[in-house]
Amino acid sequence: MPAFLDDFLFSYQSLIYALGINGLLALSMYVVLAIGQLSLGQAAFMGLGAYTSALLTLKLGTPFPLVLATSMAVPALAALIIGAPTLRLSGVYLALATIGLGEVLRIAFVNSELTGGALGLSGIPEKAGYGIIFGSLVLALIAFVLISRSRIGRAMEAMREDEVAAGMLGVHLPRYRISALVVSAMLAGLAGAFNAHVSSFISPNDYGFDAAVTILSYALLGGIGSPFGPVVGAIILTLLPEVLRPLHDFRLVFNGLIIVIAVLFMPHGLVPWRIRRSGARA
């Protein structure tokens, strides 16, 4: 590796990791938004993944692949518990229940001795690297592109446009809803495990309300027409505060503003193109 590249990777290491992790989070948001639902529990799922993985590594010395699998399974279970009863209700219920999950988990992390209370957990070994983080991101992107081109992708798009009509045309709405939520929780959990294993330190505040809204802003800035939109959104919103220093202090204000502007004035986001389904003629 040339020396300058080595230097570059060294000095911007945490930023580059953040790009990959936030990209995964943006995709986890995308899966749910793509079927016209809204989960505000992405930060909570991420936190569950981060804490599960950190505890397994620190207390039990579990092998890393098993740690990653568990940190995807635990948020998936949480998603089932709070998601399953909302499947037949309006989307508002899922959104409210998932914000509630975030708030209650933060309280749990702060009050539990096992999770180190408000101070969090530190000394987590650096086990994740560029390969596995960006490998997962690329794999997830490829999977979503393939899904968008398939029958499943068309059903998802139909749900987003008009749920009642999609249901009438034979789309099994509850099955799609729960699958999307579980996949989304798993991706967020994975991102959380990576986050814990590159930053060596995690605390309850990393996974609170601010984080939940920020993840939504990635997806809405990029647009949810294709899986590339949210990733582009995540890259822009991760890099921008680094490039424009004055923005750094107001980055939460900015992220909030992005959502407001996106919903009111640019509902298709920055990357409005859709993925053409397989077999479609031009």
Q: Which residues bind another protein (CB under 8 A)?
A: 36-38, 40, 81-82, 85-86, 88-93, 95-97, 99-101, 103-104, 107-108, 111, 162, 164-165, 209-210, 213-214, 216-217, 220, 249-250, 252-253, 255-260, 262-264
Locate 158 and state its tokens: 């139909």
The secondary structure element, H or E, covering residue 83 is: helix 64-83
For residue 109, report the phi and psi dihedrals to the nearest 5 degrees.
-65, -40
Under DSSP, the state recorded for 206 is G
Q: Min. distance of Cβ 52 from another protein in angstroms?
A: 19
| Residue (77 or 104) nearer to another protein, CB | 104
Q: Min. distance of Cβ 7 from another protein in angstroms?
A: 34
> How many Å apart are CA 53 and CA 62, to the nearest integer?
9
> How many Å apart are CA 104 and CA 82, to the nearest integer?
12
The SS3 assignment for 155 reads helix
| Residue (134 or 209) nearer to another protein, CB | 209
The secondary structure element, H or E, covering residue 216 is: helix 209-222
| Residue (113 or 282) nearer to another protein, CB | 113
Locate 239 and state its tokens: 């890099």
Q: Min. distance of Cβ 37 from another protein in angstroms?
A: 8
Q: Min. distance of Cβ 67 from another protein in angstroms?
A: 27
| Residue (111 or 122) nearer to another protein, CB | 111
Q: Min. distance of Cβ 38 from another protein in angstroms?
A: 5
Any idea which residue has 């000394």 for tokens? 123
Under DSSP, the state recorded for 224 is S
| Residue (15 or 257) nearer to another protein, CB | 257
Q: Min. distance of Cβ 113 from another protein in angstroms?
A: 11
| Residue (53 or 214) nearer to another protein, CB | 214
The SS3 assignment for 174 reads helix
CB 213 within 8 A of CB 16: no
